Amino acid sequence: NWTAASFIDDAIQRIRARVGKDRVLLALSGGVDSAVTAALIHRAIGDQLTPVFVDTGLLREGEPETVREVFGRHFHMNLVSIDASERFLTRLRGVTDPEQKRKIVGAEFVSVFEDAAARHGPFRFLAQGTLYPDVIESATPRDSKTAAKIKTHHNVGGLPEDLQFELLEPVRMLFKDEVRAVGRLLGLPEEIVQRQPFPGPGLAVRILGEVTPERLKPLRRADAIVRQEIEAAGLGDDVWQFFAVLLPVKSTGVMGDQRTYADVCAIRAVTSEDAMTADWARLPHDLLARMSNRIVNEVPGINRVVYDITSKPPGTIEWE
Ligand code: XMP
């Protein structure tokens, strides 16, 4: 029977045997799969692993700091951390079409990552946090038949096939709950082990309309408030995903005795088993009230909050 401890021992032996004295490159996204893959490989071969973290400028509040803290300072990995936010934001300037945003972020990611690989190489292996459901999915591409027709999915680490590396996928036989158990045993913090699914294009697809620094700032704040309040209410484990979306709409409001004309933010919270279908979460009204009050009072530029009550289908979880 499967235990995280015996899996780790076994995986370490296999990684050492396969890698030998060669070097391994890995794209760290901040998500649980690549994090556990990095921790496992690092335990096996130490500094022969080079994890690369690309800060796209499109992550949520606190995430780049957490990645640097955990992998750089705590695990003492040979972390290559690249702040590419200006590059991404420059490419995204003026772009409002969701598919266009997804393509730009995906292509830019590959280009930044390839630069890093060339600069810090040579590497024989590319490690990826592929899980068993991803393996099944690519055999009968669930995504390409359904979801990808709707949206071009981009995974950090989902790099083009023509890169000159051998793939190292030590968690490819695991399910999500198993990879979480392995991560915990390897000493990863709960904020990484329990991280919600997050789209590769990041906040670019949660800001409807143009993505600018001026719009990222309020969205990040509003999103952090949504996450804090749902966690504080003890509902973090019951809700599959919860986040804020910034709408390309302004509305009139009143603050004190002043008329305001500012942005509208939507809260999205869904329950789901596998993200293929989802229902909007029946959050308590007073929790919704707290989030709304805090956002309007604490986030300059947002004067109205709405709650998304659309299921999937016909809606999708993300708004773009
Ligand atoms: P939708 O919005 O299609 O999302 O209902 C289903 C699940 O996939 C996540 N998502 C993505 N994940 N790259 C990813 O790795 C992407 O481009 C992407 N787009 C959406 C979404 O957060 C939800 O969990």
Instruction: Please report the pLDDT score of residue 136 as a whole number.
Output: 83
**Average pLDDT of the segment spanning 296-306:** 98
Would the annotation count 308 as a binding residue?
Answer: no
Q: Is 34 in the pocket of ligand 1 (CB under 6 A)?
A: no
**Average pLDDT of the segment spanning 214-238:** 98
Confidence of residue 130 (pLDDT cuts 50, 70, 90): very high
Mean pLDDT of the chain: 93
Q: Is 154 in the pocket of ligand 1 (CB under 6 A)?
A: yes
* Whether domain 206-307 has CATH 3.30.300.10: yes
Which residue among 59, 153, 280 has the greatest number of ligand 1 atoms within 8 angstroms of its CB, and so is best to mutate?
A: 153
Which H or E run contains 60? none
- 6-10 contacts at long range (C-beta below 8 A, 24 or more positions apart): 7/174, 7/178, 7/182, 8/40, 8/43, 8/182, 8/185, 8/186
Which H or E run contains 261? strand 258-271
Of the chain, the percentage scoring pLDDT greater than 70 comes to 92
**Average pLDDT of the segment spanning 217-229:** 98
Would the annotation count 35 as a binding residue?
Answer: yes
What atom in ligand 1 is closest to the CA of residue 151?
A: 3
**Average pLDDT of the segment spanning 308-314:** 98
**Average pLDDT of the segment spanning 73-98:** 98
What are the boundaries of each domain within the chain?
4-193, 206-307
pTM for this entry: 0.92
Q: Is 176 in the pocket of ligand 1 (CB under 6 A)?
A: no
Instruction: Please report the pLDDT score of residue 4 as a whole number.
Output: 98
Calculate how far, in angstroms, residue 318's C-alpha sits from the geometric centre of ligand 1: 7
Instruction: Please report the pLDDT score of residue 145 as a whole number.
Output: 36
Instruction: Please report the pLDDT score of residue 151 as a whole number.
Output: 62
Which residue among 29, 101, 245, 318 has the greatest number of ligand 1 atoms within 8 angstroms of its CB, and so is best to mutate?
A: 318
109: pLDDT strictly greater than 90: yes
What fold is seen in the domain 4-193?
A: Rossmann fold (3.40.50)
**ipTM, 2 decimals?**
0.98
35: pLDDT strictly greater than 60: yes
- As given in the structure block, the two tokens for residue 14 are 């296999």
Would the annotation count 301 as a binding residue?
Answer: no
